[in-house]
Amino acid sequence: MAPPQTQKDATKAVHKPDYDAVRKDIASILKMPDYDDGSCGPVLVRLAWHASGTYDKETNTGGSNGAGMRYEAEGGDPANAGLEHARRFLEPIKQKHPWITYADLWTLAGVVAIKEMGGPDCKWKPGRTDFADESKCPPRGRLPDGALAADHLRHVFYRMGFNDQEIVALAGAHSLGRCHSDRSGFEGPWSVTPTKFSTQYFKLTKFKWEKKTWEGPVQYKNTDLGEELMMLPTDMALIEDEKFLPYVKKYAEDREAFYSDFAAVFSKLIELGVTRDDDYESAPTMSKEAGDEKEREAKSKM
């Protein structure tokens, strides 16, 4: 078994790691006419989210470091069903840029996808390592269960070190993507624009939601916008809980506040449990704006 790959080891074979090139390659694959709603962006965000959301602050285990989803112990967790598609979509980019670790690639893909779908710029920093084997994978059961309620949300997110405001802000990612009955058991999109990052998820909470009559698990439906949209019990918990609700109302009305808070909490999420070599402790954070600025500077010198 080969030793775990670190970013420092991986970059020995290249003169300088080109993260801007990786960003551009990720952006280039997002449009997929034959996948879901025409974009793999939402599932890449989910990959970054689930790779990071296993963190436990008490034991300092889990998190995005390690890319444990490559192994059955973590990748086979029912909560990660369907994420094999996201990992497969990114594999050609990994092969093109072998110096980047999977842990960095997956988190960077989530950041790029959010920005490309109209969301905020989330800070990202390289230096994550890949586990050599599954022995360091976190135990299953740490990711949220959409079928449960507010106390479950707090149990999961408090374990990671988040507060109520951050829980609601992160939930805003449900403006993206859809559920699949052959993966989570749930079915349908949260919004009418599932490939566009927006405040629509929070605005829709003002609608009347009723339990869907079907053979699947409990979920809620609304058809006021012409198509059937859905909410999970965990989504409804944000409306029903008196401490969550003020943040839901705030983000429904204040796009700037939501985008700012989401960028901060998503960047915090993908940093949970990450330790780096000294070379990376002082490395600057990487953002799309930073990359764009570098490109403009280079062009101005031509």
Q: Give one DSSP letter per residue of the chain, joined into a string.
A: -PPPP-HHHHGGGSSS--HHHHHHHHHHH-B-TTSTTTBSHHHHHHHHHHHHTT-BTTTTB-SSTB-GGGSHHHHTSGGGTTHHHHHHHHHHHHHHSTTS-HHHHHHHHHHHHHHHTT-----B-----B-SSGGGPPPSS-S--TTS-HHHHHHHHHHHT--HHHHHHHHGGGGS-EE-TTTTS--EESSS-TTS-SSHHHHGGGS--EE--SSSS--EEE-TTSS-EEE-HHHHHHHHSTTTHHHHHHHHH-HHHHHHHHHHHHHHHTTTT----HHHHTPPPB-HHHHHHHHHHHHHT-
Respond yes or no: is residue 174 known to be catalytic: no
From the candidates 99, 124, 190, 209, give the one annotated as an active-site residue.
Answer: 190
Q: Kindly name the residue from 49, 50, 106, 124 that is annotated as catalytic.
A: 50
Do residues 9 and 105 make contact, with C-beta atoms less than 8 angstroms apart?
no
User: Is 50 among the residues known to form the active site?
Assistant: yes
| Catalytic positions | 50, 190
